[in-house]
A and B are shown apart, each in its own frame.
Chain A
C-alpha cells in the first residue's frame, strides 16, 4: 500500500512539473522563429521598424526563456530521482536521447542566447542573425529529441528486452518509431500556433488602446498571415495523430473517445460528442452520439473497425477516463476556434478592414485575438494530458507498467517535493504573467540605438559586459 502512494505521488509530481514547464518552451520555440523572421526582414528591407520588433518581442522572449530553462531542469533529473526503475530499463535509449537534447539543443540555445540578447552592439549584424538562428534552431531540435523520447514511450520500437533492459537493435527504427512523425510535428506546430496568437493577441490589445498602431498592425498582420498556414495544418496533423493513436495504441484511442464496444464488420462506429465514461461500470453513464462518425475519424473509412475498451481487461485500460475524454475535446475545440479566428481575420483583410486607418475600429475582431492569447497554452496542456494519461497504465507502452517504474523512496520525500514543485511553479507562473504583461503593456522602446553595420571597436576598459549599453 505504501508503494502505491509513491507511484501516485510521483505521477502527480511529474504531471505538475511537465504541465507547468511546457508553457514556456512553447513560446521559446515559436517566438524564437518569429524573431528570426523579423530580423531577416530588417536586414533584407533595411526597415528599422522590423529591428524594433526584434527588440520588443525579444524582451518578452528573454523573460520567457529563463523561466523555461529552470522549470525544465527538474525533468532532466526526475527520471532518475522518481523513476529509477524506468531509467534502468530504458536508459540505454531514453537517456541517450535526453543526452542528445542536452548537447545538441539545450547547450546550443544557451551558448548563443547571450549574444542574441546582449550582443546587438558587439558583433556584426550577420553574426547576430546567426546567434538568433542558432537559438531558434536549438529550440526546435530540443522539441524534436524530447518528442523522439516521448513517442518511443508511446510506441516503443527498434529493440527488445534482455534481462530487464531494453536493448536497441536499430536506432533508425527506435528514433523513427510509429508515433514520432506525428508527435513531433503536432507539438512543433502547436508551439508556432500558440506563439502566433500570443504575438497577435498582444498586438491586438495595443491596437484596441490605439497605441503604436503602425508598429502593432505590422505584427498582427504577420501573425495572422502565418496563422493562415499554421492553423489548418495543425488540424490536419491532429487528425493524423488521432488515426495513428487508433492504429498503434487502440486502448488509448478508445478511452479518449469513450468507445466501449467494437463495431461489427460493415457497421460504422458511432462517435460520442459528449459523454461521461465510467470505468467502474465499464460504460458511459450518459452520452450524446453521432452515428458513424467515429469510424471515419479513427480509420478514414466510413465503416472502419474501431476496437472498443471492452476488448481490454480493466487493468490495461487508462485511468481517469472523463479527464481524458474532455481534455481531448477542449484541445480539439481550441484548434478549430483558432482556425475560425484566422478565417475571420482573413475575411476582414480581404474586405480591406485591416488598413492602418481602420484596423483599430475592428473592436470585436481585436478582442477575439486578445481572448485567444491563453488558448494555445490551454490546448497544449490538454494535449499532453491526453497523450500521457492515455498511455497509462504503461510507462513504456506494452512493455513496462508505470507501477513497476518508480524509485525506492518513502512517500514523505515525494510528498514534500511534489508540494514544493507545485508551490514554486505556481509562484513562477503568476510572477511571469505579471512581468510579461508589464513588458507587453510598456510597448516598444524606439530610443534603442540601431546597431551599425560593423560593431564599433571596443577597448577592454571601455565596454560593458551587459545590456547597459543598449
Chain B
C-alpha cells in the first residue's frame, strides 16, 4: 500500500469518526428528549420539549445520512456487511425515525395524542436499535469472503441488550442536559432531576459494558491488556469517570451549560475508546480498513466533495443554533 493510500484511509477514518460523533451527540439529545417526552403528562411541557427541537431535528438526523454515504463510498464492503448483518435493527430504526420525524409537523395538524406517542416511542425504539447495532458491531458479525455470512438475529445477545440500554440512558442524559440549557423554571428543575437519574443509570451500564467486553471478546482483552495491566486503554475510562464527576458537580451547582458539555465529553471519550479498541478493524477481527478501502482516486474525489465541505456544514449548522439560541417558552412548532 502506498503512503498516499495509507494517509487517505486514516483521514477517512477520522472523518467517519467525526460524523459518527456529531450524529450521536446531536441526534442523541434529540432522541433523548423524545424518550423523555414519554414520561411527561402536561401537553404544554411536551410542546416546549418538541419546540426546542423544531428548527434542528432534521439537520441533526442528516449527519446519519452523511455518515452512511461516506462509509458507503470509502469502505463499501463495510457498509454492505454492517447493514446486511444489522438488517432488522437498522430497518426497524428507520421505521422508528420515520414516525418520530413526521410527528413534529403532523401533531400540529390533528389530534396530538397519537403523534405524541409516535414521537416518544419512535425515539425510544430508534435509540434501542442503535444500541443493538453497536452491540452487534462489537460482537463482530460473521464474515466469509468479505460478505456477511451469519444469520438474521446474530446481533441479539445479553451483551447487546446491555449496550442498547446504555445507549438509551446516555441519550436521555444528553436530552435532559440539553433541556437544562433550553428551558427555565419547573421544566428546567425537572430536567435536572432527570439528568441525575439518567447519568447514574448510564454510568452503571457503561461500567458493565466496560467490564464485560474484555471478558467475552478476546480481541479486546488482547488489545487492552496485551501490554500489561497499566495500558493506554485505561485513559478513556478514567477520563469518563472524571467527566462524570464534573457532570455531578455541574448539576449540583445548577450550572446551565456545563452539564450538557460534560455529558458530551463522556460520549466523546467513550467513542474514542471504542475507535481505539477496534482500529484498524471496522468489523472486529475480520475486516480491516486497509483491506477494503476504496482506491485512492475515489478517496481523493470524496475529499473534494465531502471532506472540504465539513467546515462549511459545521458553520451553517452552528449558525442555525445561534439564530435559535435562548430559552424556549412556547409549545408550538411552525
Binding site for B on A (CB under 8 A): 59, 62-63, 65-67, 69-71, 73-74, 76-77, 79-82, 84-85, 87-88, 90-104, 106-108, 110-115, 117-119, 122-123, 134, 165, 167-168, 171, 407-410, 412-413, 416-417, 420, 424, 428, 431, 435, 438-439, 458, 460-461, 463-469
CA distance A271 to B81 in the complex (A): 47
Across the interface, A93 reaches (CB within 8 A) one of B80, B146, B298, B333, namely B298
| Per-residue interface assignment for chain B, residues 49 to 91, with 1 indicating a CB less than 8 Å from any chain A CB and 0 otherwise | 0011011101101111110111111111101111110111011
Contacts A84-B80, A85-B80; A464 near B328 (Cβ below 8 A): yes
Contacts A87-B80, A91-B77; A66 near B90 (Cβ below 8 A): no
Contacts A85-B147, A460-B326; A467 near B305 (Cβ below 8 A): no
Contacting pair A103 B306 (CB below 8 A):
yes
17 of the cross-chain contacts (CB-CB < 8 Å) are A62-B105, A77-B83, A84-B81, A90-B76, A96-B302, A98-B69, A102-B68, A103-B305, A111-B320, A112-B316, A113-B55, A114-B323, A168-B297, A171-B301, A465-B326, A466-B333, A467-B332
Top 9 closest pairs, chain A to chain B, by CB: A91-B76, A95-B72, A80-B83, A114-B55, A99-B69, A468-B330, A96-B73, A84-B80, A95-B73
Q: Within residues 92 to 114 of chain B, which ones have a CB less than 8 A from any CB in chain A?
A: 94-95, 97-99, 101-102, 104-106, 109-110
Across the interface, A69 reaches (CB within 8 A) one of B58, B306, B319, B331, namely B58
Besides A69-B58, A80-B79, A96-B74, 18 other CB < 8 A contacts?
A: A73-B61, A74-B94, A77-B90, A77-B94, A79-B72, A80-B82, A81-B91, A103-B69, A106-B65, A114-B58, A114-B59, A117-B334, A412-B152, A424-B99, A435-B109, A464-B51, A465-B325, A466-B55
Across the interface, A428 reaches (CB within 8 A) one of B98, B310, B327, namely B98
B69 — nearest CB in chain A belongs to which residue?
A99
Contacting pair B309 A66 (CB below 8 A):
no
Contacts A88-B76, A91-B72, A460-B327; A465 near B147 (Cβ below 8 A): no
Contacts A93-B298, A102-B69, A104-B305; A66 near B76 (Cβ below 8 A): no
Contacts of B88 in A (CB 8 A): 413, 416-417
B308 — nearest CB in chain A belongs to which residue?
A103
Across the interface, A87 reaches (CB within 8 A) one of B79, B98, B324, B332, namely B79
CA distance A110 to B323 in the complex (A): 14
Contacts of A123 in B (CB 8 A): 323
CA distance A70 to B213 in the complex (A): 34
A407 — nearest CB in chain B belongs to which residue?
B84
Q: Does B204 contact A (CB under 8 A)?
A: no
Contacts A99-B72, A99-B73, A463-B326; A408 near B97 (Cβ below 8 A): no
Contacts of B82 in A (CB 8 A): 80
Contacts of A106 in B (CB 8 A): 62, 65-66
Contacting pair B80 A107 (CB below 8 A):
no
Contacts of B95 in A (CB 8 A): 420, 424
Question: Smallest CB–CB gap between B266 and chain A, Å?
Answer: 26
Q: Does B270 contact A (CB under 8 A)?
A: no
Contacts of A413 in B (CB 8 A): 87-88, 152
CA distance A127 to B37 in the complex (A): 33
Q: Does B194 contact A (CB under 8 A)?
A: no
Across the interface, B62 reaches (CB within 8 A) one of A84, A110, A420, namely A110
Contacting pair B54 A99 (CB below 8 A):
no
Q: Does B149 contact A (CB under 8 A)?
A: yes
Contacting pair A80 B80 (CB below 8 A):
yes
- Range for the number of chain B residues in contact with chain A: 35 or more
Binding site for A on B (CB under 8 A): 51-52, 54-56, 58-59, 61-66, 68-77, 79-84, 86-88, 90-91, 94-95, 97-99, 101-102, 104-106, 109-110, 146-149, 151-152, 182, 294-295, 297-298, 301-302, 305-306, 309-310, 313, 316-317, 319-320, 323-334
Contacts A84-B81, A466-B55; A435 near B69 (Cβ below 8 A): no
Contacts of B152 in A (CB 8 A): 409-410, 412-413
Contacts of B317 in A (CB 8 A): 107, 111
B327 — nearest CB in chain A belongs to which residue?
A461
Contacting pair B313 A111 (CB below 8 A):
yes
Question: Smallest CB–CB gap between A165 and chain B, Å?
Answer: 8
Contacts of B320 in A (CB 8 A): 111-112, 114-115
Question: Smallest CB–CB gap between A442 and chain B, Å?
Answer: 10
Across the interface, A465 reaches (CB within 8 A) one of B74, B80, B106, B182, namely B182
Question: Smallest CB–CB gap between B294 and chain A, Å?
Answer: 4
Contacts of A77 in B (CB 8 A): 68, 83, 90-91, 94
A80 — nearest CB in chain B belongs to which residue?
B83
Contacts of A428 in B (CB 8 A): 98, 102
CA distance A128 to B333 in the complex (A): 18
CA distance A94 to B302 in the complex (A): 11
CA distance A65 to B334 in the complex (A): 13
Question: Smallest CB–CB gap between A284 and chain B, Å?
Answer: 40
Contacts of A439 in B (CB 8 A): 109
Contacts of A118 in B (CB 8 A): 54-55, 324, 334
Contacts of A115 in B (CB 8 A): 55, 320, 323
Contacts of B65 in A (CB 8 A): 73, 76, 102, 106-107
Question: Smallest CB–CB gap between B121 and chain A, Å?
Answer: 14
CA distance A458 to B55 in the complex (A): 17
B88 — nearest CB in chain A belongs to which residue?
A413
CA distance A108 to B333 in the complex (A): 21
Contacting pair B97 A73 (CB below 8 A):
yes
Across the interface, B305 reaches (CB within 8 A) one of A62, A100, A119, namely A100
Contacts of B323 in A (CB 8 A): 114-115, 119, 122-123
Across the interface, B66 reaches (CB within 8 A) one of A66, A71, A92, A107, namely A107
Contacting pair A466 B330 (CB below 8 A):
yes
CA distance A123 to B182 in the complex (A): 20
Contacts of A110 in B (CB 8 A): 58-59, 61-62
